[in-house]
Every structure is written in C-alpha cells, then in structure tokens.
Amino acid sequence: MKTHPEHPAPAGTRTERDTMGELAVPANAYYGVQTARAIENFPISSLRMPRSVIRAMGLIKRAAAAVNRSLGLLAQQPADAIKQAATEVVEGKLDAEFPVDVFQTGSGTSTNMNTNEVISNRATELLGGARGSKLVHPNDHVNLGQSSNDVIPTAIHIAASETIQHHLLPALTRLHRALAKKAKEFDAIVKIGRTHLQDATPVRLGQEFSGYARQIELGIARTKRAQEALSEVALGGTAVGTGLNCHPEFSSKVMAAISQETGCSFREATNHFEAQSTQDSLVEASGELRTLAVSLMKIANDIRWLGSGPRCGLGEIQLPETQPGSSIMPGKVNPVIAESMTMVCAQVIGNDVTVTIGGQAGNFELIVMLPVMAYNLLQSIELLATASDNFAAKCIEGITANKERCQSLIEESLAMCTALAPEIGYEAAAKLAKEAYRSGKTVREVAKEQKVLPEKQLDELLDPWRMTEPGGPVGSAGG
C-alpha cells in the first residue's frame, strides 16, 4: 500500500522510501521497501527461491563485507554488523524474510535487494538503530562493489555446486556401491538376456547389475563436470561486465573465502561479459543432470521389469516390500520406490527444458531468466540426491535374486541356437529355432533329435555359462 506524508502508515506498518516514493512495510519485517514492491508486483506463484540460494546470498554478503573492510572501503562497525546479520541469513534464521516469488525480475534484482534489505535492517538493529532507518544502508554498505547482475548468477553457481558436493555426490556414491555390491553378489547367476524385449542369449544377473553400476559411475563423473562448469563466477563484473564501482581485488578475495568455507572451488570469470550475458554454464550443468536422470530412468525401469510378478511376470529378482500395493487386491506389493525414481527423472528432464530456454534469454549484456533457471536447476539437484539415496536404501540394497526362476527360463529360449550358428550356419540354426518354437520343444531337444552335432559338442556349445563369456566359435551373434 502506498502512503503519503499527510497520511500516516496503517497500524502495524512503517513507512519506507526508495527512488520511486513511499510504501508501507510491515513494522516487524526485516525486509524493506523494494521487497514490498516485489511482493506487490509478482503475486504469481507459491514458489520461492531455494534455501540454498538464500544461503549463498548470505555467504556472498558476509564475505563482501569482510573484503570491503580489509580494502578500507567499509568502516569496522557496519562491516561487523553486516557479517553478523549475513551469518544469520546463512544459518537460515531469517528465511521467513524472503517472500519474493521466483517469477520476478529476470536478473533476480528483487532477490538481491531483498537480501540487502534484510541484512541492512538486521545490521542496523544490531547497532542500536531502528528497522528502516538505514543506519546500515542496503545499497551503499551491504551491496558495496556489487550488482544484482553479478551477485545473482554467482549465488546460483555457489548454491548448485554446494548442493552437488554435499548432497548429490554422496547419494550417487551410495547408489553406485549398492549396485556394484549386487553385481558381485549375483555374478554366478545365469539368466536369459533380452533385446527388443525378446529372448536373447544368456547373460549373468551380475553382468546386468554391473552395467547399472557403471552408468552411475559415469553419472558421478558427469556430475563432477557439472560442478566444474559452475566454478567460474560472475562476481566482479557489476552491471554489464566492466567491473564499474568494484575494487579489482574484490572478486578474487571474496571467492577465495567462499571456496574455503564451502569446500567447493570457485574463481573469478575469465571474461565477465560472457559470465553475465550468458549462462551456458547452467545449461551445461543441467544437461549433465538430464543425462544422469536418463540413466536412472533406465535402471529403475529395468528393476521394475526384472521384479515383475511375483508369479506371472519375469520375477528374476525380488524387491523389498515397502507398502501394500492395492486398495482392492489383498497381498499385492508394487515397485513403488522405482516408480518414484522414474517420476523424479521425468521432472528433472522437464526442468532441463526450462533451463535450456532460460539460457537463450541472454540479451546483449544480461541474461534475464536467472530466477527460474536457479529454481529448476536446484530442484533437479535436490531431487536427484534424495531420490538416489532413497533408491539405494529402500530398493537396491534389499534386492534378492530368484536363482531358480533365472535358470528355468534359459532352456526355453530359442536364442540358445545362436551358439550353434558358427558350427552349423545361420540358416540351419534359424530353421532349428523355428522347429523348436513350432513343436514346443527346447533348442537342445530338437538339436539332439536331428543329430546336428555330436551330443558332447552340443552340450559344450549350449552351456549357458559359456555363452556369458567372450570367445567360442566365431560367427554372427544376432541382434
């Protein structure tokens, strides 16, 4: 609500002024007039900036105050008060003071000023001043040497890298270990392979799981590449990349302090015009996460299929029972943990589309879809982290193999004839397979009846374990 000098602010509010005039702000709020304007301007959704981004904003403002003090640009008292107030932001004590919608100004200026005002008013209070008095000024002191245009992309990089480091990578490591352990545990179990959803030559259950483990191993490498893409930050470029009103040593000193605190590596951008007019780095990071989501989708779907049944499906593995599966069918248990993973993967793939479109919004010297890029990228990281840990804990680690089921299906496969093709020829082997299918007999039974090879040689060629290893007679292996 706008106020005028002749009309006092409504009860429970205080009047604050900015360059556009006066506005009523809740009396007990740490945020100020520009945040209040943003609340009025963007009543779009219930979505707010992720906590990790707000934490990163606090890290930047705290380090900036310390560096500006060391450079002689900020007096001791306001610097100390800003550092203490920023620490409260970092620790989440002032989270309720960040009400600005994600769908706001494309540069994230509203979030930067929200942060500046909260820290300004809390620092003012720490020095004995009244909220709104600007004893510690949001622009002149808290935002010293900075612009929304370099602070917001820097905060996104910090938040994403920290969340990857402390949440996603540990979760993927646990999942990789679980899959690798199952690969070793199941290595002696031979089963039928499947291509095109049709019977194929035998494979060991452990070999299948080793493929999943390798997917996650590569996913970890991709996630680390995403982190590397985030290591260059825009801080120091200020409004358009020129570094106007910023001390030349400011960015390197601030990022050195933040790198040490977070355990992640950050450095000033090689070229500030690239760092502020684009966010190819976020697009790259999101793309790596999308690839990880595709890997997890494949693994989760395979797990669902391998555990289908328990009697009328494939049933080659048993999944841990986590909850009743039906409101009408007693005793039914569904692969719900794998299903939740597939939904997370779908969300992450969709988030990547938004980040990609956002990356195209780099107009001249500034990219103007930063808040929604931040929201989607951070959501992807957080979802992949929690879902991967849950998938490992409540599904993969508890999987057992149905060895008898795996073995019983092998002899029924017509693809067993593949091992005979190098000896009797592709067409003869195909004819044998068709006869086995027509008669309902196994390939072994038909081959023995037709005496296509000596029985000892047949038993050797049709040994399922032998078919799971490289080598043997050279010939076409099918497709």
Hey, which residues are catalytic here?
A: 196, 326
With contact defined as beta carbons under 8 Å apart, do 118 and 36 qualify?
A: no
366-367 and 362-363 as β-strands: parallel, antiparallel, unpaired? antiparallel
Q: What is the DSSP letter of 97?
A: G
Backbone angles phi, psi at 364, to 5 degrees: 55, -115
Count of residues in the chain: 479
Within the chain, how many helices (H) and strands (E) appear? 18, 10
Query: Rounded distance, CA 60 to CA 151, Å?
Result: 8
Backbone angles phi, psi at 104, to 5 degrees: -135, -155
**Apex CA 466: angle with CA 462 and CA 470, to 5°?**
125
267-268 and 232-233 as β-strands: parallel, antiparallel, unpaired? parallel
Which two structure tokens, joined as six digits, stand for 384? 């992949």
Among candidates 204, 208, 227, 212, which has minimal Cα distance to 177?
212
Query: Rounded distance, CA 214 to CA 220, Å?
Result: 10
Contacts by residues 217-220 (CB-CB < 8 Å, ≥ 24 positions apart):
217/176, 218/295, 219/172, 219/291, 219/292, 219/295, 219/296, 220/169, 220/172, 220/173, 220/176
- Provide the residue type at 327 as one letter: S
Largest Cα span, the chain: 109
- 17, 62, 255, 152: CA torsion to nearest 10: -30
Query: Rounded distance, CA 120 to CA 381, Å?
Result: 31
Query: Rounded distance, CA 353 to CA 372, Å?
Result: 11
29 dihedral zone (left: phi>0; alpha: psi -120 to 50; beta):
beta
**What DSSP string describes 44-56?**
--S-B--HHHHHH
Which two structure tokens, joined as six digits, stand for 239? 């409004």
Among candidates 63, 45, 156, 51, which has minimal Cα distance to 104?
45
With contact defined as beta carbons under 8 Å apart, do 460 and 472 qualify?
A: no
